[in-house]
Amino acid sequence: MAGPLSGIRVLELAGIGPGPFCAMMLADMGADVLRVDRPEPVDLGLPLEPKFDVIARGRRSIALDLKHTGAIEIALALVEKADVLIEGFRPGVTERLGLGPDACLARNPRLVYGRVTGWGQDGPLAQAAGHDINYIAIAGALHAIGPAQRPAPPLNLVGDYGGGAMYLAFGIVCALCERHSSGRGQVIDTAMSEGAASLMSIFYGRMAAGLWHDKRGVNILDGGAPWYNVYDTADGKYVAVGAIEGRFYAKLMQRLGLDTPSLPDQYDRARWPELRANLARIFQQKTRDEWCEALAGHDVCIAPVLSIAEAPSHPHNRARGAFFECDGVIQPGPAPRFSRTPGRVERGAPRRGEGGAAALADWGFSPQQIAQFRQSGTVMEDDHNAGL
C-alpha cells in the first residue's frame, strides 16, 4: 500500500537542518518530494557522500541556478503543480528571488507554503544568524537541560528537529487538511525558538504551580531525583532508571535489596543524596547487561543506555524493524506506523539533479518542456548521474 501522503507533491528548496528533515518525514509517508538544488553545495562546509545523508533520503532532485530569471520561471512552473513548498532561508530571501509566498500563491492558490527559520519571519531577531543551540536558549529549553554546573547542548534535537522540522510537518499536514474544506493554501511560519518553547509546555505549567524549580539537577525529570537518573555499571556502561510511579519505585527498591524499614520516602528530597549514593553503589556491582537481564520483566522502568552503534541491534528494535539498511547505511525507519498505509523509504538521497527528468515527467511536464528546461542553461546537471 502507498503511504498516507501518497499523491501529495512537495517542492523542497534545498537547505540545511529542519527543512530537509521535514521533507524526509513527508517522503517517508509517501509524498513525492522534488528537491531544488543550487549549483553550490549546501553542507555547512562539511560535505557528505549522498548515501550517508540520511535525512535527504526519499526524494529526487532538479538542480537550478535560481540567480537566473529562467530558473525562477522553471521553479514557478513547478509551484503550479505542487501541493507543498518547503523553504528554510532567512526572512525575505525567497521574496528577493521571486519565489516568495505572494508570487507562488498567485500561481497556485492551493499551495501550502511552509517556512522554517530560527526566530520566525518577524521580530527583533528575525534577521540574526543562529543555530539550534541559540534558538533553544531563548525558549528556556537549554537552561533546563544538563548537570547543575552548566547547560548541556542536547544535540540539535530540540530546535532543528523537534521544534522545527516536526512543527513544520505538523503545520503542513494541518494546512492540507484545512484545504479540503476551503480549497485554499496558506503560509506556515515555523520558528524553531517557538517550537522549542512549545515542547517545554509541561515545565512552564509545573513551574507556575510551584512544582518545578528554575534550576537544573533538582527536579524529577532533570536528574535531580535518584529514581530518574543514569547510573554507572561495572563495565563502564550505563543504565537508565525511570521509576517515577510509586509502584515501580517500590518494585525497584525491592529488587535491589533496598526495601527496608529505613527506606526513605520517594519524595523526601532531604534523603535523595543518600538514596542516590546507595543506588550508585549497587549498580556498580554488575555490568549493564547483567542488570538488564536481572531486572527484566519486573516493571522497574530500567533500560540499557545504548550507543548509536548498539541501538540497531537491540532485540526490541530488531523485532520492531525500527532500523533498516539503505545503500549499505543502517538508519532509523519511517515513524510513526500506520495500519493500512505504512510509510516506506523509496530511495536513498539523490545526487544533485538525479532523477529530475523522471520527476518532471511524473509531475506532468511534456518531453518538449523538459528538453526546453535543459536547453535553457539554467538547469545544472549532476556529474555522476545526470537526471535532467
Q: Tell me, yes or no, if 160 is annotated catalytic.
A: yes
**Antiparallel, parallel or unpaired: β 9-13 and 32-37:** parallel
List the catalytic residue out of 28, 32, 37, 160.
160
- Residue 239: what are its φ and ψ, rounded to 5°? -120, 145
With CA atoms as reference, report the closest residue to 89 among 77, 79, 98.
98
Calpha distance 203→5 (Å, rounded): 33
Cis link prior to 336 (omega < 30° from 0)?
yes
Half-sphere exposure of 159 (CA within 13 A, CB side): 26
List the catalytic residue out of 68, 131, 143, 314.
131
CA-to-CA dists, residue 122 to 91, 125, 128, 305, angstroms:
8, 8, 11, 41
DSSP 90-144: PTTHHHHHT-SHHHHHHH-TT-EEEEEESS-SSSTTTT----HHHHHHTTTHHHH
Q: Tell me, yes or no, if 143 is annotated catalytic.
A: no
CA-to-CA dists, residue 168 to 5, 50, 62, 141, 188, angstroms:
15, 24, 23, 19, 7
Where would I find the H helices in the chain?
18-28, 69-81, 93-97, 101-107, 132-137, 141-144, 166-182, 192-199, 201-208, 246-255, 272-283, 288-295, 315-320, 356-362, 367-375
Calpha distance 218→383 (Å, rounded): 56
Rg (the chain; Cα; Å): 25
Tell me which residues are annotated as active site: 131, 160
